[in-house]
Structure 1
Amino acid sequence: MAPILNINNLYKSYGQTEILKDINVSIEKGDFLVLVGPSGCGKSTLLNCIAGLEPITGGQLNIAGQDMTNVSPKDRNIAMVFQSYALYPTMSVAKNITFGMKVRGVDKSVQDQKLAEVAKQLQIEKLLNRKPSQLSGGQRQRVAMGRALVRDPALFLFDEPLSNLDAKLRVEMRTEIKRLHQDLHASMVYVTHDQIEAMTLATKIVVMKDGIIQQIGTPAEIYRQPANLFVADFMGSPAMNLIPAKVSTDGNARRIEIARDGEAPLVLTDRRGVDLPKDVIIGLRPEDITDPGSRQGDNLELADVHVDVVEPAGADTYVVSRLGGKEVTARLQAETEVRPGARAQFAFDLGKATYFDPASGARLV
């Protein structure tokens, strides 16, 4: 079966300025692709190219096996949900949802049937006679999604649909979109700058920077095996600790030496026998620096570290120290007693360590 979306060697320029550079992405039917990256990385431009709202400068774009490179948006069999909802203020919710079908000449009985199905699915049956101005942000978001759902398109496109909502509602709507995806087995492309949104929603993530794809992978691959320092730093909250270190060989193991202010270096031993150059940046997620005794493994290293800042966060306590000239965050259990200015023993899980080249930023191991 052909991929539902296939993008080959796509380029997009405005005059002499290249916005998207050699984009290659493919997803299967039912995939949830999330385009993520900082502001200005090109993710919304790429979504607009998929939608046909922006003409591409070079390359090819296929949807459901059909070449859509030069096809107008209305003929692409897509539905788009915008950040601004783009609802008609003078129309009721019901008319907003069915308007597109009415314009396309869909039979009234089919319109009514589709409206009833979607309203039930999104739990907005009681809102159908209201105007957009009478709705909350979350309700407007549901109506915008309902309007997309009645199209039954090959591809749903979402452009930062939750960024206007408050934090609590954003979490609720994220769950709603995830449930919709599971129920419908729909194919979705979703743009966000929020990496938590990307991790929780996606079956496949594209991380972008400066119009270039940095990595494509599952949420687990992106989180555990970041392709470079940018992805490692961008994906995860708190971010991965990235600490400059010196490496020497100790038999089959590797001796990892990390400088400390005003005291002897911290020395850790990675027993995996990985091949490393003399200078590296070691990457450890906060949960891989934790309480002694809370984790098992033959590559755990215990070390005393000076505590700078303690941040209670409900289920966890985050502790910030300084290693290798960088702030390093450890994720401890909530009941762990640590005090700023004191020393605490941490367990470093070197089995989960990732190593990067300081010059190129590429992942080594």
Structure 2
Amino acid sequence: MAPILDIKGLYKNYGSTEILKDINVAIEPGDFLVLVGPSGCGKSTLLNCIAGLEPITGGSLSIGGQDMSNVSPKDRDIAMVFQSYALYPTMTVAKNITFGMKVRGVDQAEQDAKLERVAEQLQIKPLLNRRPSQLSGGQRQRVAMGRALVRDPKLFLFDEPLSNLDAKLRVEMRTEIKALHQNLGATMVYVTHDQIEAMTLATKIVVMKGGVIQQIGTPSEIYNRPANMFVADFMGSPAMNLIPAKATANGNGSVIEITGADGTPITLKDTGTSGLPNDVIIGVRPEDIAEAGQRSGESLQQAECRIDIVEPAGADTFVVTHLGGKAVTARLHAETTAKAGQPQMLSFDLSKVSYFVPATGERLN
């Protein structure tokens, strides 16, 4: 199946400053691609290049098999939902949604049919005669989405559409966007700095930093096998623990030695990983550290750790200890007996850990 969006060797410069560097991305029809990264990483610039709002400096960009590198935005068969909603304040909701179709000369009967369908999908039928000033933030975002949906484009583009909403409404709208994608089977490109949005919405994630793609993969691949320490630290809440350690060969496996809070070494045996350098960073997710005795399996290794902080969080309790000179977070069950200032036996699931090169941050295993 040919990619609906195919970006090859794309560069974007402002004068002598490189903003995007050798971007290569391809997505299939029906994919939900999320561009994620910290502020200034280039994700919105890349979206604007896809939309044609920014000219590219080098490389190529194709939509639906046609080269769109130098094509006007109106001829790219795309629809865009902006962070600021960008609604016409003097028009009603209905007119905001149908205005683009009216400009393109779409038949009135078709306009009415599409308005009816989209208003039903987004549950905004009671709002059609209101103006944007009479709507809440969530309602305005639905209208902006409705204006895009009536286009039936090859590609939907979303530029941080939920960033202006409160936390509860963000969750609700995220669910609605996910449902829309599943029901429509549309191809979407979505920009966010929120890694929870990226993980929950995407079929494919592009993690960016400094205008460079760090990793492309499914949410599971990004989360479980981060390509480097930046991805490991950025994707996940709480983030993956990154602990300096020493590794020595032990048959077909390795012995991992970590400095404990009091300076004494903690030794863990990883029977499934070999060939590690002496200096290594071990990456372990908080959920892969449990109270001793709560889980069983050959990959579990126990160590006594002093608990510094206990943070009840409803269904879970997060505890913080110090290993390798770093604060390390563990996600324990809500009924844990762990107490601040006291030692606690914790088990580490070494089948789930990642190893990284300290100097470069690149993944080893």
TM-score by length of 1: 0.99
For residues 68 and 261 of structure 1, the distance between their equivalents in structure 2, rounded to whole angstroms, comes to 57
Post-superposition shift, 1:264?
1.2
**Partner SS, residue 237 of structure 2:** coil
Asked if residue 38 in structure 1 is aligned to residue 38 in structure 2, the reply is: yes
Aligned residue in 2 for 1:162: 162
Aligned residue in 2 for 1:243: 243
**Partner SS, residue 292 of structure 2:** coil
Q: Which amino acid aligns with 2:64?
A: A
Q: Which amino acid aligns with 2:254?
A: R
Q: Which amino acid aligns with 2:304?
A: D
89-98 or 266-275, larger mean C-alpha shift: 266-275
Aligned residue in 2 for 1:60: 60
Q: Which amino acid aligns with 2:343?
A: R
Question: For each residue in 1:205-241, what CA deviation from the matched residue of structure 2 results, as whole angstroms up to 9, or x when unmatched?
Answer: 0000000000000000000000001000000000000
For residues 173 and 287 of structure 2, the distance between their equivalents in structure 1, rounded to whole angstroms, comes to 27
28-37 or 267-276, larger mean C-alpha shift: 267-276
Q: Which amino acid aligns with 1:208?
A: M
Aligned residue in 2 for 1:221: 221
Aligned residue in 1 for 2:50: 50
For residues 287 and 273 of structure 2, the distance between their equivalents in structure 1, rounded to whole angstroms, comes to 23
**Partner SS, residue 3 of structure 2:** coil
Aligned residue in 2 for 1:114: 114
Question: For each residue in 1:249-283, what CA deviation from the matched residue of structure 2 results, as whole angstroms up to 9, or x when unmatched?
Answer: 22333110001233411111101142201010000
**Partner SS, residue 227 of structure 2:** coil
For residues 343 and 260 of structure 2, the distance between their equivalents in structure 1, rounded to whole angstroms, comes to 13
**Partner SS, residue 254 of structure 1:** strand
State the percentage of identical aligned residues. 75
Aligned residue in 2 for 1:330: 330
**Partner SS, residue 351 of structure 2:** helix
Question: For each residue in 1:75-126, what CA deviation from the matched residue of structure 2 results, as whole angstroms up to 9, or x when unmatched?
Answer: 0000000000000111000000000000001011100000000000001110
Asked if residue 104 in structure 1 is aligned to residue 107 in structure 2, the reply is: no
Give runs of aligned pairs for residues 195-234 of structure 1, distance below 5 A: 195-234=195-234
Aligned residue in 2 for 1:6: 6
Asked if residue 90 in structure 1 is aligned to residue 90 in structure 2, the reply is: yes
For residues 218 and 94 of structure 2, the distance between their equivalents in structure 1, rounded to whole angstroms, comes to 37
For residues 240 and 323 of structure 1, the distance between their equivalents in structure 2, rounded to whole angstroms, comes to 14
For residues 130 and 165 of structure 1, the distance between their equivalents in structure 2, rounded to whole angstroms, comes to 20
- Residues 205 and 218 of structure 2 are in contact (CA less than 8 Å); yes or no, is this contact kept in structure 1? yes
Q: Which amino acid aligns with 1:74?
A: K
Post-superposition shift, 1:295?
2.5
For residues 329 and 281 of structure 2, the distance between their equivalents in structure 1, rounded to whole angstroms, comes to 15
**Partner SS, residue 304 of structure 1:** strand
Listed as ranges, the gaps of 5+ residues in structure 2 are none
Post-superposition shift, 1:300?
0.3
For residues 329 and 109 of structure 1, the distance between their equivalents in structure 2, rounded to whole angstroms, comes to 59
Q: Which amino acid aligns with 1:77?
A: D
TM-score by length of 2: 0.99
- Residues 261 and 306 of structure 2 are in contact (CA less than 8 Å); yes or no, is this contact kept in structure 1? no
Question: For each residue in 1:275-331, what CA deviation from the matched residue of structure 2 results, as whole angstroms up to 9, or x when unmatched?
Answer: 201010000000001122333321101111000000111110000000001000000
